């Protein structure tokens, strides 16, 4: 059951990122993690604004690794589907504001 929840959480986020014009995931779909999902804003000059907006909504620890950059969402077992949905809602809102 936990595996199915983790698959659903990762699918929700990957599907949104893959369909987005603002975000990109550079990992081959065959090698993607269900736990740590890296992504980049196509316009990286907007990273600080993205992170500030996320923090204002209680979406924390999204800044990617210092050697890689970008963003990283960690979807460990304790992260509920509702938390991933809140992130996707914010990603959508930020993308609409950027358009």
What are the pLDDT digits (tens) for 28-69?
999 999 999 999 999 999 999 999 999 999 999 999 988 889
Mean per-residue pLDDT for 5-27? Answer: 97
Higher model confidence: residue 98 or residue 46?
46
The pTM (predicted TM-score) of the whole model is 0.94
- Position 99 scores a pLDDT of 80
Q: Long-range contacts of range 57-65, CB-CB < 8 Å, 24 or more positions apart?
A: 57/86, 57/90, 58/86, 59/86, 59/87, 59/90, 64/38, 64/40
pLDDT at 66: 87
The more confidently predicted of residues 14 and 99 is: 14
């Amino acid at each position: 059951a936990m595996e199915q929840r983790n698959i659903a959480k990762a699918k929700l986020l990957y599907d949104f990122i893959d369909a987005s014009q603002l975000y990109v995931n550079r990992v081959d779909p065959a090698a993607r993690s269900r736990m740590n999902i890296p992504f980049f804003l196509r316009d990286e000059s907007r990273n600080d604004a993205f992170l500030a907006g996320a923090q204002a909504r209680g979406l924390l620890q999204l800044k990617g690794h210092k050697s890689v950059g970008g963003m990283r969402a960690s979807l460990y077992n304790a992260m509920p589907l509702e938390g991933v949905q809140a992130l996707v809602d914010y990603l959508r809102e930020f993308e609409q504001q950027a358009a």
